[in-house]
Amino acid sequence: MAVRIIVVSALLLSAGSCRAMPEPVVHTVTIEGSTFTPAVVTAHVGDRVVWVNKDFMPHTATGRGDTFDSGLLAPDASWTLTLETRGTVDYVCTYHPTMRGTLRVDGATERP
Ligand SMILES: [Cu+2]
């Protein structure tokens, strides 16, 4: 019986949806064609977001209101942000202001 409980726990963890064990999840945002994909990331405090630049030009992921800034992301570079506060933050690329994305960060204990 103990084995079955462990297996179920592992499945919940891999789905990133266990209220009892809010393991951090890594969300990947791909930058390609001067677009952030996905444009909206819904995450939780403690999660990480990784931006990967697959374009042939540099970009940034820069949150509004002095929240976060990847700095220059060269082609093939990536940058990781650990989410420490809840809230919704819109971000842009400072070089291409039409590039927009949004982070929605809920509390760590609110993982459904
Ligand atoms: Cu850009």
pLDDT in tens, 18-51: 455 568 999 999 999 999 999 999 999 999 999 9
Q: Is the pLDDT of residue 110 over 70?
A: no
What pLDDT is stored for residue 10 in this prediction?
46
What pLDDT is stored for residue 53 in this prediction?
98
Q: Is the pLDDT of residue 1 over 80?
A: no
Q: If you measure from the C-alpha of residue 80 to the centroid of ligand 1, how many angstroms do you get, rounded to a whole number? A: 17
Q: If you measure from the C-alpha of residue 18 to the centroid of ligand 1, how many angstroms do you get, rounded to a whole number? A: 35
Question: Per-residue pLDDT tens for 53-69?
Answer: 999 999 999 999 989 99
Instruction: Please give the order of strands across the beta sheet that includes 100-106.
Output: 40-44, 100-106, 87-92, 62-63
Which of 51-60, 84-93, 103-112 has the weakest average pLDDT? 103-112
Q: If you measure from the C-alpha of residue 5 to the centroid of ligand 1, how many angstroms do you get, rounded to a whole number? A: 46
pLDDT category, 107, cuts 50, 70, 90?
Answer: confident
What pLDDT is stored for residue 83 in this prediction?
96
Q: If you measure from the C-alpha of residue 26 to the centroid of ligand 1, how many angstroms do you get, rounded to a whole number? A: 22
Query: Considering the chain, what percentage of its residues have pLDDT values greater than 70?
Result: 77
Q: If you measure from the C-alpha of residue 35 to the centroid of ligand 1, how many angstroms do you get, rounded to a whole number? A: 8
